[in-house]
Structure 1
Amino acid sequence: MSFELLGMIGGLALLDTLSPATLGVTVYLLISEKERVGSRLMIYLGTVAVFYFSVGVALMLGLDALLSAVSSIFQNRTVSWVTMIIGVGLFIASFYYPKNKKESDLPRPKSRTNTSMVAFGITTSLIEVGTAIPYFAAIGLMTTSNLAVYQWLPILAGYNFIMVLPPLILFVLHVLLGRLMQKPLERLRTKLAKNAGSAVSWIMCIVGLILVYNSVDNL
């Protein structure tokens, strides 16, 4: 396992921190909740992290079994060409993704019980997982690098921790600064709602470049 691979996966994890849904829910809870905000937020973020980690483990094991079953196919340049095509496709598509959308409502829980926060975490994860381009790219890189389980498992756990780190930082600042965080949080929520399309566009562009870079050497 090379430092270059770790660097690319770490970069993809940082891209995933731009998820407007997770940050949006966090900001909403910090602004609107007066009691037990910490426990509800931790339940929500824990649910999201466990969900993505479980999906990642399932994909890693499934892809690893698939590669083992058809290993002869992947001994040539097929995988590199497929990765290259996907990367170029994402890079081109990023320029056509609508960036200047009207302000849209970010997801917010309708109920505030602990059970509802778990359900809301699963629901938002199910909605977002289909567009988790950096996460799927990281899983693809780890799979094609033939990492052993003891290597990719902690990387996957670290990836998911990084993914929920910005909401945790916002919560710590909220606890430390109290009312001083109210206006910054409101401004952040407005920016997230207005610039969600732009964030997705940049994510597509950068992920595409990483995939192209990773595949060029094997062509």
Structure 2
Amino acid sequence: MSDFLPLAGLALVDSLSAGTLVLPIALIVIWRRVRLGLLGTYLATIATAYCGLGIALLLGFDAAVSRLSGVSETDWFQWVTLVLGAGLFIFGVFSPNPKKPAATQTAGPEVPKTRASRLARGASLSATGMVGLALGAAVVEAATMLPYLGAMGIIQSMSFGFSGKVALIAGYCIIMVLPATLMAAIAGAAGPAIFPRLERAIRRLEYEAKVTLLWIAAIVGVYMAASSAQGLGLIG
């Protein structure tokens, strides 16, 4: 149970990314209604893409562990992870803070010109367009989603068999799209009255996602550096 709570927390952090939440909200605002078929196609595609990536990483982890089981115990590997951890910490702490969104009044169907909204506007209003948009978002974001990569490492370290780990990855990806699904349900129930609030939320969500990435980078960096320093005997 102690491993499942961090996984759920990481999944919720991932659920606030541009691809899993900001883009779906931008699509709803642009459409001025909830197109269940198209939005469902988008969310199913991005969840499936991350699930497939997780399984690929899982297979890669297993292959790497079987071939390089002793590498992690060597001094050079510990020094490499120490330097990488320090670099992540420096990036997270000393990177310039993202620019806060301006408090603008939005009247009418104009959507804030964020990266997510530009991608949403360019998407074709078809199932194929939604699949392409979701796959593009997953490819662009995958390498920067530190919570997701950390979660895959946690799942790999668990004592479950391969099928159990695949089930955990699938559950993780379902949690990733739950907030967007909830927002779609709320927007569908509330109708046009909620669109001005959603428009204002787009910029804020992108800002918060960037800030969260910096915090996570710093925390992961501290953990990596401390673990490596302990392995090298630099700290007790």
The counterpart of 2:152, out of the listed 126, 136, 139, is 139
How far has the Cα of 1:117 moved from its partner?
0.7
User: Runs of 5+ in structure 2 lacking a partner?
Assistant: 102-113, 232-236
Show CA shifts across 1:100-129 (max 9, x none): 337543232422111111011111111111
The counterpart of 1:186, out of the listed 199, 203, 207, is 199
Pairing 1:62–2:50 present? no
How far has the Cα of 1:87 moved from its partner?
4.4
How far has the Cα of 1:43 moved from its partner?
0.6
> 1:150, 1:77 → 2: CA distance?
34
How far has the Cα of 1:162 moved from its partner?
1.2
Pairing 1:108–2:106 present? no
Show CA shifts across 1:49-92 (max 9, x none): 11111011011011102101222444678877766654444333
Show CA shifts across 1:137-179 (max 9, x none): 1112232445421331121111111111111110011112112
Match of 2:43 in 1: 45
Secondary structure of the corresponding residue to residue 179 of structure 1: helix
| Mapped contact 1:60–1:143 kept (Cα < 8 A) | yes
Q: Which moved more, 1:30-39 or 1:184-193?
A: 30-39
- The one-letter amino acid of 1:25's match is L
Match of 1:172 in 2: 185
> 1:31, 1:73 → 2: CA distance?
50
Match of 2:69 in 1: 71
| Mapped contact 1:93–1:204 kept (Cα < 8 A) | yes
- Cα gap change, 1:5 to 1:121, in 2 (>3 Å): same
> 2:98, 2:224 → 1: CA distance?
26
Root-mean-square deviation (Å): 2.9
- The one-letter amino acid of 1:180's match is A
| Mapped contact 1:137–1:211 kept (Cα < 8 A) | no
What are the equivalent positions in structure 2 for 1:6-25 lying under 5 Å apart?
A: 6-25=4-23
Show CA shifts across 1:182-219 (max 9, x none): 12211111313444432321232344456678x58x84
Secondary structure of the corresponding residue to residue 131 of structure 1: coil
- Cα gap change, 1:92 to 1:11, in 2 (>3 Å): farther
Q: Which moved more, 1:202-211 or 1:174-183?
A: 202-211
> 1:41, 1:59 → 2: CA distance?
27
Q: Identity percentage over the alignment?
A: 31
Between the two proteins, the alignment pairs up a number of residues equal to: 216
Q: Which moved more, 1:169-178 or 1:67-76?
A: 67-76
- Cα gap change, 1:66 to 1:114, in 2 (>3 Å): same
User: Runs of 5+ in structure 1 lacking a partner?
Assistant: none
In our comparison, the structure showing a higher alpha carbon Rg is: 2
- The one-letter amino acid of 2:88's match is L
Secondary structure of the corresponding residue to residue 62 of structure 2: helix
